[in-house]
Amino acid sequence: MKVSTLLFAAASMAQASSLIPRQRASLCELYAYWSGNGYELLNNLWGKDTATSGSQCTYLNGASNNGISWSTTWTWQGAPDNVKSYPYSGRQVAKGRKISSINKMPTSVTWRYDNENVRANVAYDVFTAADPDHPNYGGDYELMIWLARYGNVYPIGTKERTVTLAGRSWDLWVGWNGAMRVYSFVVPSGTVKSFSADVKEFFRYLESNYQYPSSQQNLIGESCTISTARVYQVGTEAFTGGPATFTVDNFSADLQ
């Protein structure tokens, strides 16, 4: 993975740069990667081969111990129901943290799209597995929190119910991705462009209502980081459309 530093005008990121010290990186290659200050950023173009045309670059705009600011610009055509990419920022955490041992998973994010005429989502993505050394591109369980759904894209599985968590309503979709059980909490309408919550609240709901085995599941991630770290992350799954730029003005996350 190659990461090249880049200097460019910061006018469009004035709000974010007032919160996070300025750093710059440009990630355009498949799985190009940056990490620092307890956060990481991945140009995760895992489904690009299903596209008939397109490209994507992801840019670090700033990072500190308090959060990360970044953006990604993409355009993809072909196979409209296939995800082409999931560029994301992730919070690095120590290996071997069982969900039951975590009291809180506080997080906040503010984001925007400059073109909403696309097929895409904006979502948190958290993987867990009984094996703490499980390959970190999947797990036994996947928890997603969809903050936006553009162009009639859908989560895996079927909608089972509407629940209230973190002070708002969510449509809960449940399904399988191979052998991995997937739970997706989807905002029923509109978008949530400023979100603050305790992700542990979602796990508690699954434990109470879906027999999620929190005492047996370790927090893992989907990154290419070193084996002693795992993450939970937020980003955008791009299907088709563009050119479009997705900007995260600030993402922060922690474990307590």
Task: Point out the residues that are catalytic.
Answer: 142, 237
If phi > 0 it is left, if psi is from -120 to 50 it is alpha, else beta; for residue 163 that is: beta
Amino acid at the residue 133 = D
Nearest to 134 by CA among 238, 240, 216: 216
Distance from C-alpha of 99 to C-alpha of 83, rounded to nearest angstrom: 28
Distance from C-alpha of 238 to C-alpha of 240, rounded to nearest angstrom: 6
Going by the DSSP 8-state scheme, the letter that residue 98 receives in this structure is: B
User: At 235, is the secondary structure helix, strand, or coil?
Assistant: strand
In Å, what is the CA distance from 59 to each residue of 63, 111, 165, 217? Answer: 12, 14, 32, 33
Q: Which residue has the tokens 């027999």?
A: 211
Dihedral pair phi/psi, residue 203, rounded to 5°:
-65, -40
